[in-house]
Structure 1
């Protein structure tokens, strides 16, 4: 199909800057630029989406599968003119130190795409050639389109780099000088999300200028351009799961929704922004109507809902404002206690707890349906997890296994006596832990799931919401619960 992968020789080499500069420059040429991100990250894809005005999709074979990756790339690029994939960490750094599974190199092999290697040249001259030579020859299955020299200090510095690289016969397709005029602020979990950056439009314009000036577009554009086979229908990467004969009740594509189409309220604002777009599309394909709302700003829950979905994000940053919205806190609590099916990940779990103590030690009351409190700290819990369900919840049968991901600096003051999950680190670096809650019809955990690889959760969630809808029909039991809530 075409497309290009942006890889770095290490984390911090400048992949994101190069990627955003290319996307912004391409955006001035076409409205149909599709981007992807290797790995489980949520924040980099937000910047992709801001620049391209299209959702950016994660390519993660740990959270999904190797088979899911090319299907995802083909489907989401099906109407695009250009495609670009941003890598993760160094080119060969995978989910564990023992192999390169889930690395940028692994994705390049799965998609059979050429690699544009970004080199941080700030402390290098002739040694850059040794680095490029090593990366180029380490895995002969990979194809390299060229290199980008980042953080070049002067014309003399550039001359030395070019002279060193000339014998390798690998094109230099971009040169970015050292500069501090384009800066995206960060904090405890990485870059500050797009919704909190009022200056982002100006930064995007600067990136577009940088992209137009600093790259060899005569060579780059043919690599980025897609060629689509004519009259070839492409199914979503999750199509086989949707059509599986083992799913009960039958699953319908969103164009032909079932009679009972449940409304699921999706918390989506600056406090709750960590959602894989695949997850939301899968819910819609399963027949759900997605209703977006803001626990920060809205004065009440959406009306007539049969499900609640709280994704991850930064409730600790917005804890004061979340706590001040007392009407919504009470309505969420009433909805949960009325057995509305509720799915909460990480930040969503934090919101459902008794309180959040922020980094300054201020304690802010939250929804209060989970009998624990949250404290922020400096220790980062990060990594893939092998998840085993220790009990049957409203969304998972007991003993089922799945892959997930943790990424947080908070902890619970009290753990449940009957944990939802046993979590084993992907690389086996430490002993298993147990966590997660199942209260009422709440399924809450620190673990983030990609439903392309955990389809059973999405299917059961919609099924539970459909059951709730049927319960609310006149003459059915369970019709009480939400009538007391005010309209949004």
Structure 2
């Protein structure tokens, strides 16, 4: 059971100002003395970095931004993951994804902000870009509020309001529609975070500027929004009768018969059983001590879900971060390596210049140690990126392209690997502008089954490298299997 007050910040469409309002509200609540739990609907890695800054005040500091993704993790895990992340908080703020009712392509409401709001029984604050409209705003909000009676629109925050008179007209229209206005933010280009080819520049790459931007957002929200009213709205959310997700319980091996049934018949869309797909060895005795799993971090590798490190720790590993731009060797005692997503293309020169670390990574992979690489990690293991030398673990070359590859994927493991048993089904997400030649090795990592059938990625020795981002909370056997594989390293 969790009774943490909560609200979802949504919008009619992308670009309306969800991140501005959600991040500013998190910071405003924090400044008012509330311990805030920050969340993001969907697979996005960048917004949670700003959320973490917004709630890090030294008193409640260290609480990470967490993702709630009903498509990748399954709807049955959304509330338990929320309860896990929000434990001990005074209030939780969930930033939505895209438009309120937009979900995975061709899958109805699956993966949408509306689905998350319903699963959390949370009131919704609708952020509306008011530029270019007056009375019409009432028709827009009425349509969103009446589309799905299970989604409760608790109020509106107007964004990009031009003037006092413009605000007056908007408030009159919405008052007649019976929807409370909980804030009205003026147009202010200075509050926009810098963007590039994959969206906002991550907070980790511009820490000082990002902290200042968050402070400015908090001040603007305090000035122009009814922060006490928004807190009262969050407190109208009813208790959730759900047990918090536990990484320690998640990595426990299922009974053999159950594991086999899930491997062959489970998979995306099958509900709760997806939480433990795949099988580890289950019987391999652990070596003495806790193996060190090195995890790439720093500005070049900022894409990682908080639950990944928690699962590895629960499975018996010591997770040690390192920065591939600066550290000239892997952490002492490294037995496995995890390299997640990020922006190797932005830092290609620095990554290439760190030849000692590249050699160390190649030696670890050649020794058969478990190496898990996603997206940017895949590129880092390639021979080169636009002629800048990378680690050379994979017989492939990477290059930047003009094409954005983006979307949810359903996939099945092609062969046994350090991460998954053959036949393990997962749901994941792709988000990149790079391409590899060839796109798959002699033994691919995944066979994509939706939206199009193809093979992708590389399995070689202990290496599992792919463009596919997977949320390990939905497949915790990945963490267990990787840690168990450290014995052979």
- Say yes or no: TM over 0.5: yes
1:151-183 deviation digits (Å, cap 9, x = unpaired): 111122112112211222111001001111212
Match of 1:199 in 2: 209
Residues 413 and 445, structure 2, Cα contact 8 Å, conserved in 1? yes
CA-CA distance at 1:263 after TM superposition: 0.7
1:432-466 deviation digits (Å, cap 9, x = unpaired): 12111111210100001101112221121111014
**CA distance in structure 2 between the partners assigned to 1:237 and 1:66 by the alignment:** 16
**CA distance in structure 1 between the partners assigned to 2:184 and 2:237 by the alignment:** 28
For residue 477 of structure 2, the aligned residue among 456, 459, 464 is 456
CA-CA distance at 1:228 after TM superposition: 11
**CA distance in structure 1 between the partners assigned to 2:147 and 2:242 by the alignment:** 37
* 2:390 is the counterpart of 1:366: yes
**CA distance in structure 1 between the partners assigned to 2:283 and 2:158 by the alignment:** 53
**CA distance in structure 2 between the partners assigned to 1:317 and 1:263 by the alignment:** 28
1:380-399 deviation digits (Å, cap 9, x = unpaired): 11111111112222322222
Gaps of 5+ in 2: 57-62, 256-279
1:82-141 deviation digits (Å, cap 9, x = unpaired): 110000000000112451111011011101010001111101111111000100100011
For residue 45 of structure 2, the aligned residue among 42, 46, 54 is 42
Match of 1:15 in 2: 18
Match of 1:360 in 2: none
**CA distance in structure 1 between the partners assigned to 2:167 and 2:399 by the alignment:** 49
Match of 1:65 in 2: 74
Q: 1:419 to 1:331 in 2, by over 3 A?
A: same
**CA distance in structure 2 between the partners assigned to 1:251 and 1:458 by the alignment:** 15
- Structure with the largest fraction of helix: 2
CA-CA distance at 1:77 after TM superposition: 1.2
1:191-229 deviation digits (Å, cap 9, x = unpaired): 001122132222122111101111112321223359998
Residues 185 and 221, structure 2, Cα contact 8 Å, conserved in 1? no
1:78-117, aligned counterparts within 5 Å? 78-117=87-126
Match of 1:483 in 2: none
Q: 1:120 to 1:356 in 2, by over 3 A?
A: same
* 2:423 is the counterpart of 1:423: no
1:204-353, aligned counterparts within 5 Å? 204-225=214-235, 235-238=244-247, 240-246=249-255, 249=282, 259-353=288-382
Residues 31 and 52, structure 1, Cα contact 8 Å, conserved in 2? no
**CA distance in structure 2 between the partners assigned to 1:139 and 1:115 by the alignment:** 12
CA-CA distance at 1:323 after TM superposition: 0.4
Residues 343 and 444, structure 1, Cα contact 8 Å, conserved in 2? yes
Match of 2:265 in 1: none
CA-CA distance at 1:81 after TM superposition: 1.0
For residue 385 of structure 2, the aligned residue among 331, 342, 356 is 356
Per mean C-alpha deviation after superposition, the further-off stretch among 28-37 and 366-375 is: 28-37
Gaps of 5+ in 1: 358-362, 469-488
* 2:462 is the counterpart of 1:441: yes
Question: Alpha carbon RMSD of aligned pairs, Å?
Answer: 2.1
Q: 1:291 to 1:150 in 2, by over 3 A?
A: same
Match of 1:477 in 2: none
Name the SS of the counterpart of 2:190 in structure 1: coil
Name the SS of the counterpart of 2:82 in structure 1: helix
**CA distance in structure 1 between the partners assigned to 2:174 and 2:252 by the alignment:** 52
Match of 1:27 in 2: 30
Match of 1:406 in 2: 430
1:364-405 deviation digits (Å, cap 9, x = unpaired): 001101001001011011111111112222322222211111
**CA distance in structure 2 between the partners assigned to 1:81 and 1:234 by the alignment:** 18
Residues 385 and 405, structure 1, Cα contact 8 Å, conserved in 2? yes
Q: 1:118 to 1:228 in 2, by over 3 A?
A: closer
Match of 1:176 in 2: 185
**CA distance in structure 2 between the partners assigned to 1:8 and 1:283 by the alignment:** 35
Residues 161 and 185, structure 2, Cα contact 8 Å, conserved in 1? yes
Residues 248 and 314, structure 2, Cα contact 8 Å, conserved in 1? no
Aligned residues: 453
1:330-349 deviation digits (Å, cap 9, x = unpaired): 11111111111111000001
**CA distance in structure 2 between the partners assigned to 1:226 and 1:163 by the alignment:** 25
CA-CA distance at 1:75 after TM superposition: 1.9
